[in-house]
Amino acid sequence: MASPVCARALLFLSQLYVLSGRAGSLMTTKHAQPESTFAKSLTSTSTNTPYFKAAESTEIPSYVTKCPSNGLCSRLPPDCMTCNTNYSCIYGKLATFDCRIKPHVHCVDQNNHEQENFTINMTCQFCWQLAATDYVCTNSTSCMTVSCPRQRYNATCTVRDHIHCLGNRVFPKMLYCNWTGGYKWSTALALSITLGGFGADRFYLGQWREGLGKLFSFGGLGIWTLIDVLLIGVGYVGPADGSLYI
């Protein structure tokens, strides 16, 4: 009697074990399916991401505004071309230089054919050796123009656009102080002759202390007045700000 009962119990337990294994596999499959779908969605999203190419720079250089389009290459401003140094040129003499136009510049030859390489003729000299009329320099309003000895200041000079030369087109140079504050030499001399005894000339030039001294001393009893006429006449006495007469 005991053996059939044991056999039935073992059969029931084996069936229960099989059913529990099937349920577990079903649960595992159901939970894994959304995960795989999500992984696929991530994969598809990453592979379909559009690729944005960096925009190429189309900025036109500033020197192009100085370069006339379709003009003669030999007449272009120096900023529009790059030239090779002619080491055999003689200082102060005309020499031929091989040049090439810069990017975005268009020019033609005598036959109206577009070209990139050409030659120009210019004087063999450095930019800092040019005449003073061929470059423009910065001015200084802090140095004394009327002084002995004459004062100088450090200026930055730039060659004019139509001038060709060797080396840097912007260079430093020591120049004499030559700025003006608007004072007229003729007015100062007239005031010194007519009203110099009251210090009018000194007041006009901005020299208030000397003007008050002449006013209260009646022109140094006339002696100071005569001296100032001579000093202003020869240009030794100038405006208080150190500028030149007009």
Q: What is the pLDDT of residues 23-71, one digit of tens each?
A: 454 444 444 444 444 344 434 434 444 444 444 456 778 888 888 888 8
Which range is least confidently modeled, 10-24, 147-161, 169-183?
A: 10-24
Q: Which of 73, 93, 66, 61 is nearest to 160 (CA)?
A: 66
Strands, E, within 11-80: which ranges? 71-72
The span from the CA of 192 to the CA of 202, in Å, is 8
Residues 243/181, Cβ–Cβ less than 8 Å? yes
**Which residues lie closer than 8 Å to 153 by C-beta, 6 or more apart?**
140, 142, 143, 174, 175, 177
For residue 49, report the phi and psi dihedrals to the nearest 5 degrees.
-65, 125
Which range is least confidently modeled, 50-54, 110-114, 204-208?
A: 50-54
More confident residue, 89 or 41: 89
pLDDT at 36: 44
Average pLDDT score over the chain: 79
* Average pLDDT of the segment spanning 193-206: 92
- How far separated are the first and last CA of the chain, in Å rounded? 143
pLDDT at 34: 47
What residue segments make up the domains of the chain, in order of their start?
67-124, 135-176, 185-234
Taking 90 as the threshold, does the pLDDT of residue 21 lie above it?
no
User: Against a cut of 0.75, is the pTM above it?
Assistant: no
